[in-house]
Amino acid sequence: MFKTVLTLFRGSIAVAEEQLEDRTALVILDQQMRDAAAAVDRSKRTLALAIAQDQQEGRRLEATNTRIADLEVRATAALDGGREDLAREAAQQIANLEADRDACMTARTLFAQEITRLKRHVSNAEARLTELDRGRRIARASEAVRGLRRSGIEAARPYESTLPEAEATLKRLRERQIEAAAADEALIELDAASGPLATAEKLAEQGFGPRIKSTADDVLARLNAKRTQTN
């Protein structure tokens, strides 16, 4: 018994959770989409930062190459002038600048890969977000239609009648009217068959008293009498 009650309790909780999720599905979806849109915005900002940093590294690389080229010219001139000491000092600076240049090139390679990945991620996320927005509009419209149905024909208030109930009432009313009409006709027939008029007709048919209803013979006799008078 306890196991049955526990199972029933768990089932009731599950049903309540499902009903709550159904009632709040659109609210949950709206918040999830806001969170997703915020995540896409963060990805866009990250992409913009990566592009800016890549451009900065590009400017640094260009400046480094310019300084290397300038020092190479000057070091060559120092060697031509017999100043090997100055040429060596320039050579050391060139070596340091070349290390910076290589670092800039490596950074730009990494930035290029990350920028490509972020662009693909942002593009895919925006497409999915757009599709979700379309689906949300459809779901919202469907929910609005369901609400109209629940508040209209399909969900009458406890004290209000529904169309099927009104149709059933009309059907019962018509059946009673048909029954009443049939009863009235039956009473009329009974009165006609058993009333004084019916008795008088029976007596007249047997020759007792004048006829109540004219016969074909009576009509012909009357017409012949008129012809005789006219002639």
Q: Give all domains of the chain, ordered by start, each with its CATH number.
A: 2-155 (1.10.287), 166-230 (no CATH)
Lowest mean pLDDT among 24-33, 51-60, 196-205: 196-205
Phi, psi of 220 (to 5 degrees): -65, -40
Q: Enter the tokens of residue 163.
A: 């169309």
Query: Which of the two residues, 190 and 96, has the higher pLDDT score?
Result: 96
Residue whose C-alpha is closest to residue 100's, from 164, 138, 57, 156: 57
**How is residue 105 written in tokens?**
């090139």
pTM here is: 0.54
What are the backbone dihedrals phi and psi of residue 207, each rounded to the nearest 5 degrees, phi first?
95, 5
Amino acid at 133: D
Q: Give residue 146's pLDDT.
A: 74
pLDDT per position as a tens digit, 93-139 = 999 999 999 999 999 999 999 999 999 999 999 998 888 888 888 88
Model confidence pLDDT, tens digit, residues 142-184 = 877 777 776 655 555 555 556 677 777 777 878 887 887 777 7
Residue 63: is its pLDDT beyond 90?
yes
